[in-house]
Structure 1
């Protein structure tokens, strides 16, 4: 199993020593992409001048597509049975995951279009990709997860996995079954 953290911040690696964790940032993914596709000299100059950080943000979605492309590359490598991506928060998750569709609509051909098509194929394949949403057991985070779930299905077309409720207090009072069912409209009184 591999855990991928975005934005290049390997925080989980420090918490679980035996866990294989890879931190991916857009500038690093873009640099690697350029080097792997025969543009090592350009990548070196861009990195040296600091321009590589700007290139990723010059066109909307480029930074997201290179990160998604790196994840796609890891998935295709068959080195891992499972890849868990610690993705962005709900608000940015939709933008992040729709970047490939936006680029596919904007670019007719070439390597960027091919990358976008490959990422879309991965996102739409329920055997290869599912999104597990995580929320705190509070009203606002739960509402955000519900909105995000609908947006993921409607706008991204990605398969939803289970929802994880994080930091549940075992000592919190639990409503009786009748009250809980009434809260979700499941009573036939």
Structure 2
């Protein structure tokens, strides 16, 4: 298909398609002659991915480029998913001298998670260190219950991520899933906290 048809099929303006081509978010089409190129279903999938990452997840052009270039370079799926998590959840890259906390070590042991360096592990250690610095108590019983709940949720999330399909679909399901599921968790937690407060402080009346 030509650019005009690609625009019609995806609902993306020709100007936006040309912008994505210039910004290397969208791979070039097959050259037909000097002023015309042919596009395929892969371009449709990539545009759908770009739209989702921009409109649903809220990523900017540079963040999207970092993800799709890693995919286009043939990065292993584990490395790709780690980068998607870093970008979508705004995790800092894992450093070589990050702080380690006894509480995070305990969580890893309780859940039998791999003792591997990652952005997520570093982020947990930093957050726990801040909480401890503020004098917030983190008993093992609380960490056990929290980590058990999120371990079960994470397992369900990964079941919904298709790893064997087109890389654009992998990124789409992983990125949108991470974003929407994390927001769902926060909303559910807010409702649970509000509900417990109502039951304890207002005799169980309607909010």
TM bucket normalised to smaller? under 0.3
TM-score (norm 2): 0.23
Computing the radius of gyration from Cα coordinates, the structure with the larger value is: 2
Which structure has greater strand proportion? 1
Which structure has greater helix proportion? 2
Query: Which structure's relative contact order is higher, taking Cα pairs within 8 Å and 6+ residues apart?
Result: 2
TM-score (norm 1): 0.24
